[in-house]
Amino acid sequence: MSVLVYTESENGKLKKAALECVSYAKAIANDMGTSVTAIAINANDVDTLGNYGADKVLNVKDDALNPFNAKKYAGVIEQAAKKADSKVVVVSSSADSKYLAPLLAVGLEAGYVSNVVEKPSSLSPFTVKRTAFTNKAFANTEISTDVKLVGLSNNSFGLVESGGSASIEDFSPSISESGVTVESVDKAAGKVTIADAEVVVSGGRGLKGPENWGLVEDLAEVLGAATACSKPVSDLGWRSHSEHVGQTGKPVATNLYIAIGISGAIQHLAGISASKVKVVINTDPEAPFFKAADYGIVGDAFEVVPVLTEKLKAFKAQNA
Amino acid sequence: MKILVCISHVPDTTSKINFTDGDTKFDTNGVQYVINPNDEFGLTRAMWFKEKQGASVDVVNVGGPETEPTLRKALAIGADSAIRVNTEAKDGFAVAKELAKVVTDGGYDLVIAGRESIDYNGGMVPGMLSELVGANFVTNCISLEVDGTNAKAVREIDGGKETVNTSLPLVIGGQKGLVEESDLRIPNMRGIMMARKKPLNVVEPIGANAETAANSFEKPAPKGAVKLVDADNIDELINLLHNEAKVI
C-alpha cells in the first residue's frame, strides 16, 4: 500500500504544483507509515521527484497520451492506484487535474474532496480541511470510502525537500478510448498563468480603459507575475474573461496579489482571499479592499504604479 | 435534442457566510438564494439551442421544497419543465447518482451543469455524472456548438483555451463564456406568469449514499489592519514586501 500522487507536467516538464503534491503526499505517507508512489505521464525530469518525497515513480511515456485527455489520464491513474494498492490518491487543483479527478473518483469508487488546504487532521476518520463558499469559509470534511481522493489547493502546502531519491519504473497501462478529441490549443507561450503564478497583478475599473493596461503589464513583467482583472473589467470587454478573478471567475491563491484600481467587491475579495499577502493601490481610502489588504497605498495608480515598477526593477537588479 | 440543465440553489454572491449549531450547519438566516451563476450561463445557452435549433429544455435540482422558487425562476427564464429530486444534496457523488437516474429515465442528449457551484465549489458533479451515464464530458466550457449528434466545445485551460470535438450524449461543465453576462435574461412578468403553469415534477430519490461529509465549518481568522504606506514613499512598500512579508 502506497500513497499515490499524480504529478502533472507540461511540455515534458513537471509543474511546481506537482512537486507540492508530492511534498503533501509524503506528509500523509509519513503519518500512515507508508511510502509515496508518483505517477508521471510524458515527463522528462522525473528524477527530481525523489527529492520531494516520492519513493517510487511509475513513469508513463506514450504518444497516445499527448495532448492531455481527461478520460485517458483518469484511466491511467486508476490503473496506477490499483497497481500501488493505494488507499489515498492526491491530485493538484490545475484545470486538467480538476477535469480528470471526478472521472477518477468514479473509477476508483473513491470519495473525492477538492480544494484541500492542509494535511489530514485525522486519518481515522479520514478528515481534511477544504475551502468552501469560495474561500469565505473552510469545511472539515470526512471521507468515508475505502479509497480517498484528495485535490490539493495550489500554494497551500508548499514545497518540502526531503533529499531522497526514487526508483523509476516504466509503466505501460492500457489506454482507454475517449469520445473527446482536441482540435487545437490556443495558449500564449512563456506567459505566466494565474493558476501557476506566485505573484498576480490585477487591474480594475480605476484604470479607466484597456489602453492603460501597460501599467499592469509592466509591473507584472518585473515581478514575473500573471495579470488578472476584476469582473467589471472583463464584462466591459477591456480584458479577456480568462483574466477575471473572483467568485464567478478564477480563484487566486498566490503569495502576493497586487490590486490596482479595484474597489474590492465582496465577490472579488472572496476569490482572492486565499492569497497570502495582498497589496491595494486605490485613490479612494474608503474602498472595501483596504479592509482585506495587508498593505495599502492611497493614491493615483497612474502616478504610483510607474514609480513602483521602476523601483522594483532597481530592487530586482540589486538583489539578482 | 433533449437538454437537461442542472440547477444548484446557492446563496447569492453577496451573502454573508455564517454557521450555526456549533459551526456544523450553514446559517440560512437572511440569505437570498439564486440560480448558481455557472448554471445560469448554461441555462441561457440551452435557451439559445431551443430557440435557434429546436430543443426541449428541462431543469433539475436535487434538494428539498425550499429550492422550488429557484426552479420556478429557471422556468420563468424559459425552461419547459422542472424536476426536483426530493432529497437533501448530501455530497457531490450522491447528487451525481440521483441526477444519473434522471438523465437515464429522461433520455437526455445534452446535460449542461455549471463547472462548480459557488457554495461548495466541489466541481465534481458534472464529471461524475458523465461517468455514471457513459456520456462524453467537457468542463470549464466557454463555447458550445451542436450539429446533429456532433459537438464542438471550447474549454478554458490554465493560460489559454482548447477546442475539442465530441458527440452526444454529452455532459458539459459550463461557465461564463457559454453566453455573455449581457445575454443573461431577467424573467419578465409574462415569463413569471407562465412559469406558474409549467410542470414542476417532484420525484423520489434513489437514496444514494454520500461518500463525504462536511462535519464542521470554520471561518478564516480575522485579518489585522492594513498597513498604509504613503504614496510618496514607495521604497517603504518594497522594504515591507521584502523584509516583513518576504514575498519579493
Q: Among B33, B39, B118, B124, which would you mutate to test the A interface (most chain A Cβ atoms within 10 Å of its Cβ)?
A: B124
The answer to whether A196 faces chain B, any CB pair under 8 Å, is yes
Residue A268 annotated in ligand binding: yes
Task: Give A131's contacts in chain B (Cβ within 8 Å).
Answer: 121
Share of chain B above pLDDT 90, in %: 96
pLDDT digits 0-9 by tens, A37-46: 999 999 999 9
CB contact at 8 A, A95 and B140 = yes
Q: What is the distance between the alpha carbons of residues B151 and B169, in angstroms, rounded to a whole number?
A: 10
The answer to whether A283 faces chain B, any CB pair under 8 Å, is no
Homologous superfamily assigned to B2-218: HUPs (3.40.50.620)
pLDDT band at A305 (very low <50, low <70, confident <90, very high): very high
pLDDT band at A18 (very low <50, low <70, confident <90, very high): very high
For B237, which of A94, A107, A295 is closest by C-beta distance? Answer: A295
Task: Give B174's contacts in chain A (Cβ within 8 Å).
Answer: none
pLDDT band at A114 (very low <50, low <70, confident <90, very high): very high
Nearest to B110 by CA among B84, B72, B63, B145: B145
Residue with cell 512579508: B245
Please, what CATH class does the domain formed by A199-319 belong to?
Answer: alpha beta
Which fold would CATH assign to domain A2-170? Rossmann fold (3.40.50)
Q: Where in chain A is the domain with CATH 3.40.50.620?
A: 2-170
Instruction: Please give the model's pTM, rounded to 2 decimal places.
Output: 0.94
**A58: which 3 cell numbers?**
511509475
pLDDT for the residue numbered A148: 98
Residues in chain A: 320
Q: List the 235-264 stretch of A: residues with Cβ below 8 A of B.
A: 235, 241-242, 244, 247-249, 255-256
Residue B187 has pLDDT above 80, yes or no: yes
Question: Do residue B162 and residue A256 have CB atoms under 8 angstroms apart?
Answer: no
What is the rounded average pLDDT for all residues in chain A?
96
pLDDT band at B222 (very low <50, low <70, confident <90, very high): confident
CA distances to A137, A156, B22, B189 from B217, in Å? 7, 18, 9, 40
DSSP A151-201: EEPTTSS---------EEEE--------S-EEEEEEE-TTPPPTTT-SEEE
pLDDT for the residue numbered B53: 97
Which chain B residue has its CA at the smallest distance from A144's CA? B211
Residue A51 annotated in ligand binding: no
Residue A320 has pLDDT above 90, yes or no: no
Residue A195 has pLDDT above 90, yes or no: no
Share of chain B above pLDDT 70, in %: 100
pLDDT band at A196 (very low <50, low <70, confident <90, very high): confident
Mean pLDDT over A158-162 rounds to 95
pLDDT band at A248 (very low <50, low <70, confident <90, very high): confident
Task: Give A117's contacts in chain B (Cβ within 8 Å).
Answer: none
pLDDT band at B215 (very low <50, low <70, confident <90, very high): very high
CB contact at 8 A, A258 and A201 = yes
Residue A300 CA, distance from chain mean position: 32
CA distances to A71, B118, B167 from B4, in Å? 22, 20, 16
Which chain B residue has its CA at the smallest distance from A138's CA? B218
pLDDT for the residue numbered A247: 87
Q: What is the distance between the alpha carbons of residues A218 and A195, in angstroms, rounded to a whole number?
A: 20
Cis (ω within 30 of 0) for the bond into A67? Answer: yes
Residue A190 has pLDDT above 80, yes or no: no
Q: What is the distance between the alpha carbons of residues A274 and A270, in angstroms, rounded to a whole number?
A: 8
Residue A39 annotated in ligand binding: no
CB contact at 8 A, A60 and A173 = yes
Task: Give A312's contacts in chain B (Cβ within 8 Å).
Answer: 238, 248
pLDDT digits 0-9 by tens, B101-128: 999 999 999 999 999 999 999 999 999 9
Q: List the 47-66 stretch of A: residues with Cβ below 8 A of B.
A: none
pLDDT for the residue numbered B195: 97
ipTM confidence score: 0.96
